[in-house]
Amino acid sequence: MQAEPSSSAGREPSYAQRVAHLQAALGRLSDVLVAFSGGVDSAVLLHAAHAALGARAAGLIGDSPALPRRELEEALALGREIGVRVERLRTDELALPGYRANAGERCYFCRSTLFAAMAAWAQAHGFRTLAYGEITDDLLEHRPGRRAAAELEVRAPLREAGLNKTDVRRYAREHGLAVAEKSAAACLASRIALGTEVTRERLARIEQAEEALRDLCFRVLRVRDHGQRARVEVDAQELARASELQSELATRLAALGFVELELAAYRRSLAQATSAPAAKSVSQ
């Protein structure tokens, strides 16, 4: 599966060819255990693996304080929808000083913990192949977790087949997966500024903050923890509505100890997000 799908006369393979390559490659495996988060990438991989391998495919959710309870329940429900075995395994990356330090390699320690736990579970339950939902778009970003995958020989079947974000969303729509239009949902630790220690308490407060604003129905919602200041990020097209609701947002977040509110448009890159100018800022 390491080789990229071949093209005819130098042309890039079509979507159908990329999907066929994925299905054929998965079908050649003896089994596969997928790191399953409930996001569209891992959901597509798990669905395709189940279609190719049946009971020899399974998903494993790493359950830690950085995973919102809502995301956990939605992932478990999605597994039931697909009809595939999904196991929940508690992980404790907070026990690692490198993870807590949040100095730029947090994702490496997180992935390393998850993949090591997967490897132990796989060995105990007769699985030989580990996989995760990396796609070709991810190669354009700095992702420390990729190093952890290489160290523990975790495969990336979607990326190896040449699938990108447009492809996986198309696949999800074609197969009726509920996550087809789901926005990216990074872990709660991603809301903590680099250099600020990741703690169980901070993670819990961020989860509570996002839940407190959930019924306002923003398509994208991030609450970044900057001590007494909450940086609320929404889709750029919804920034004006967020500004209109600023007083309501501030009131709800004040109950969690945030005395200052900052509004900004969400950008996928964390580096961009933490440096992007805020739309408005208000103190309580």
Question: Taking the model in full, what pTM does it have?
Answer: 0.88
pLDDT category at 11 given cuts 50, 70, 90 is confident
pLDDT category at 75 given cuts 50, 70, 90 is very high
**pLDDT at 270 (0 to 100):** 40
- 142: Cβ–Cβ under 8 A, 6 or more apart, which residues? none
**Per the structure block, which two tokens stand in for 174?**
């074609």
pLDDT category at 4 given cuts 50, 70, 90 is very low
| CB-based contact 279:265 (threshold 8 Å) | yes
Domains of the chain and any CATH numbers: 15-174 (3.40.50.620), 188-283 (3.30.70)
**Per the structure block, which two tokens stand in for 146?**
């990729």
pLDDT digits (tens, 9 = 90+) for 19-30: 999 999 999 999
pLDDT greater than 60 at residue 238? yes
